[in-house]
A and B are shown apart, each in its own frame.
Chain A
Amino acid sequence: NAGVTQTPKFQVLKTGQSMTLQCAQDMNHEYMSWYRQDPGMGLRLIHYSVGAGITDQGEVPNGYNVSRSTTEDFPLRLLSAAPSQTSVYFCASKTAGGPYEQYFGPGTRLTVT
């Protein structure tokens, strides 16, 4: 079991560029989510999905798109990168029911210049 994988680990973008952060899990988890981590802010939820074809917004969704075509994959798209999106991004997954802890990927450090 690889668990939750994310690619790339590091990325530098210029303002206005677009990109997709990849996330995959091999645990057959129904629920997947994306967080961003900024200094002094903890982790904040961007988008989440409770199953293939179902997505919803979290606390900080602006500037990001998601889709869930398969149980395994949950990509996060930055449509037009801005310096405010410089952050560390984590993907996580869990089962739909208990025990409710989420399993995290290794994170992607994104810098927008």
Chain B
Amino acid sequence: AQTVTQSQPEMSVQEAETVTLSCTYDTSESNYYLFWYKQPPSRQMILVIRQEAYKQQNATENRFSVNFQKAAKSFSLKISDSQLGDTAMYFCAFTHTGANSKLTFGKGITLSVRP
């Protein structure tokens, strides 16, 4: 069974600065995907970024980028130029490939961006 660990329950960052959210996972699968989801106070789950395990290049989406270390089973999210709208809970998630694939979530981290 796979597990996803987010060990920091809360973080705070000053507006315009950079923050990194940590995530580690454990799996025996070789083909899988990793995700970061954002959950603002509206409660909606929003996909931030996706990483395919077979790709060595780290994914980037505008101000969001990941540091994917496959051997270490680490998948951290870097948010550059933090904005007030980035205040949210962030979840790291894992799924193996296949029709029956299930999404396993970490416990989440609450990020606060200070003005």
- Residues in chain A within 8 A of chain B (CB atoms): 30-31, 33, 35, 40-45, 48, 50, 56, 58, 88, 90, 92, 96-102, 104, 106-107, 109
Alpha-carbon distance between A101 and B33 when the two chains are bound, in angstroms: 8
Which interface residue of A30, A88, A102 has the most chain B CB atoms within 10 A?
Answer: A102
Interface size class of B (residues with CB under 8 A): 20 to 34
- Whether B99 pairs with A97 at a CB distance below 8 angstroms is yes
Chain-A contact segment, one of B14-22, B62-70, B74-82, B105-113: B105-113
Alpha-carbon distance between A106 and B105 when the two chains are bound, in angstroms: 17
Which interface residue of B47, B97, B103 has the most chain A CB atoms within 10 A?
Answer: B103
Given A99-B33, A100-B33, CB of A33 within 8 Å of CB of B43: no
Which residue of A42, A45, A90, A96 contacts B108 across the interface (Cβ within 8 Å)? A42
Give 14 pairs: A residue, B residue, CB < 8 Å, sorted on A.
A40-B9, A40-B107, A44-B105, A48-B102, A58-B102, A98-B97, A100-B33, A100-B50, A101-B47, A102-B103, A104-B44, A106-B43, A106-B44, A107-B45
Residues of B within 8 A of A109 (CB): 43
- Residues in chain B within 8 A of chain A (CB atoms): 4, 6, 9, 33, 35, 43-45, 47, 50, 52, 91, 95, 97, 99-108
Alpha-carbon distance between A43 and B44 when the two chains are bound, in angstroms: 13
Given A42-B108, A90-B45, A106-B44, CB of A100 within 8 Å of CB of B97: yes
- Whether A42 pairs with B103 at a CB distance below 8 angstroms is no
Residues of A within 8 A of B100 (CB): 50, 56
Alpha-carbon distance between A102 and B99 when the two chains are bound, in angstroms: 13
- Whether B35 pairs with A101 at a CB distance below 8 angstroms is yes
